[in-house]
Amino acid sequence: MMMTTHMTNDTRRAYARMTLTAITVSLAVSLATLSACERPKPGLPVIVPTVTTALVVTRDIPMTRNFPATLTSPEMVDINARVTGWLLSQSTPDGATVKKGQLLYSIDPSQYAITLDSANAQLAQSSAQVEVGQAQLESALAQQVYAQATFDRNKPLVATGAVSKETFDGYTANLAEAIASVEQARANIQLYQANELAAKATIATAQLNLSYCTVKSPLDGIMGASKFFEGSLVGDGGKQTLNTVVQMDPMWASFSPSANFLPGFLVNQAAGSLGAKVTLTGASAAPVAGVPLSLGRNSPSAEGRLVMVDNEVSETSDTILMRVEFPNPTSVFRPGAYVTVTVELGVERGATVVPVSAVFARQTEMFVWKVNADDTVESVVVNVISAHEKDLVISSGITPGTRIVTEGVAKLRAGMKVNDVTATATSTPAASTPAASTPATSTTNGKN
């Protein structure tokens, strides 16, 4: 019984050793097979990607900076109804280009015309009263002169008894009455003259109100959308604003760059060389009548100049408000639109530049393919600080004179050997250059 158990254990150990040996042999065979698969098969050529290269160079680059901006108008005037009344008519349609003094709306003038007629009647009445008062004054003055003469003539006769005391008292009373009449006439004239002035003021107010019944444009510009239409009661409560006229030429582009740019702006502004270009980025344009609109092509742009730098920096954003003024004769730029303001703040001397087509991104970093002496490539991280036309300005990562791939970037992997058609075309005689360039062109097109 004990012998059987011992044999069984030995058998199990032997079986385990055999199984381990078989697994080891199988794994070795598999690895050998994989290695054989990775090796190029005899007779098949290794495919070498065809690329175009260029040397990294230095160049004087204008320090161009782009800033997002918002368009505003130097004058945006609300057209208000300054008197209450029924809106009779709109003489100028919404959205029309208007001139200063052009009739826009008409308000019912009936009540203001009646007020003006009444004021004119009051003026006529007051003027007539003034004339009557003048006549009354003249009569009172004549009576005063007569009463004074009678008083003076009879006063000495009272002492001699030629004129009785009672009679002289009558002369005295007549003189006092005449004097009072003169004063009253003068007071009446002042009252009539005051009424006349009040009537004239009422006339002026009535004429002004009557003039407000014809609403005219206060400036050259473009009308907006009407808020009230014919038959509406306007000028009452919150119904004053009828429309808005906006000046279109010139126009302002307001932007807020970082305060770090302020010294550069001020130096160039003082030198009188700080111009700016305003571009309506992404706008649809049709340069020829009847041609369909093309989004993002021929975007409208205009040249302007910096006219305002604010007097303080924002505490919350560390930016400073600036304003560019530019001509807008076609009114294609409208207030509220978003534009790009391009400003040149001098020239960066000897900047390291590479073509835009040479740079590619991986996550948050930018790279170029560097071509080594053995025609293999490796990716190099570069720091892009600005763009100018078809070039990018590099501050670090690559040095001038380094050869980099400019076309065929997407098909490369680190360590690959490449066929540089640029070098081939340079070293090949001029007669064979077209033939050498043809495969590169077809390869690139095939990739794209």
Q: Rounded to whole angstroms, how far apart are CA atoms 134 and 124?
A: 15
Q: In this predicted model, which residue has the larger pLDDT, 168 or 5? A: 168
Q: Rounded to whole angstroms, how far apart are CA atoms 326 and 320?
A: 20
Instruction: State residue 85's pLDDT score.
Output: 93
Least confident segment among 43-52, 135-144, 268-277: 43-52
Q: Are 90 and 107 in contact (CB under 8 A)?
A: no
Instruction: State residue 97's pLDDT score.
Output: 94
Q: In this predicted model, which residue has the larger pLDDT, 153 or 32? A: 153
CA dist 443 → 138, 193, 448 (Å): 118, 102, 9
pLDDT above 80 (res 126) = yes
In the predicted model, what is the mean pLDDT of residues 398-404? 92
pLDDT above 90 (res 335) = yes
pLDDT digits (tens, 9 = 90+) for 225-268: 999 999 999 988 778 899 999 999 999 999 999 898 888 888 88
Instruction: State residue 328's pLDDT score.
Output: 94
Q: In this predicted model, which residue has the larger pLDDT, 284 or 421? A: 421
pLDDT above 70 (res 44) = no
Pick the CATH number of 75-102+216-246 from 1.10.10.10, 3.40.50.1580, 2.60.40.10, 2.40.50.100: 2.40.50.100
User: For the chain, what percent of residues have pLDDT higher than 90?
Assistant: 48
Q: Are 20 and 12 in contact (CB under 8 A)?
A: no
Instruction: State residue 356's pLDDT score.
Output: 93
Tokens of 134: 């003048």
What ranges do the domains of the chain cover?
75-102+216-246, 109-212, 251-284+294-447
Given the DSSP bridges, would you call strands 50-55 and 419-420 parallel, antiparallel or unpaired? parallel
Instruction: State residue 161's pLDDT score.
Output: 82
Instruction: State residue 54's pLDDT score.
Output: 92
- Chain-wide mean pLDDT for the chain? 82
Instruction: State residue 334's pLDDT score.
Output: 92
pLDDT above 70 (res 387) = yes
pLDDT digits (tens, 9 = 90+) for 263-310: 888 888 887 768 899 998 776 655 566 655 555 556 888 999 999 999
Instruction: State residue 101's pLDDT score.
Output: 94
Instruction: State residue 435's pLDDT score.
Output: 39
Q: Strands, E, within 112-196: which ranges?
A: none
Instruction: State residue 291's pLDDT score.
Output: 59
Which of 67, 68, 65, 69 is closest to 344 using CA atoms? 65
In the predicted model, what is the mean pLDDT of residues 173-200? 91
- State the number of CA atoms in the 13 A half-sphere of 175 facing the CB: 16
Pick the CATH number of 251-284+294-447 from 3.40.50.280, 2.40.420.20, 3.40.50.2300, 3.30.70.560: 2.40.420.20
In the predicted model, what is the mean pLDDT of residues 181-209? 92
pLDDT above 70 (res 426) = no
Given the DSSP bridges, would you call strands 103-107 and 365-371 parallel, antiparallel or unpaired? unpaired
In the predicted model, what is the mean pLDDT of residues 66-89? 93
Yes or no: domain 109-212 corresponds to CATH 1.10.287.130? no
Q: In this predicted model, which residue has the larger pLDDT, 40 or 246? A: 246
**CB count, 10 Å around CB of 315?**
6
CA 409 and chain centroid, separation: 40
Show Cβ contacts of residue 41 under 8 Å, excluding neighbours closer than 6 positions. none
Q: Rounded to whole angstroms, how far apart are CA atoms 246 and 41?
A: 77
Instruction: State residue 292's pLDDT score.
Output: 58
pLDDT digits (tens, 9 = 90+) for 427-445: 444 444 343 333 333 333 3
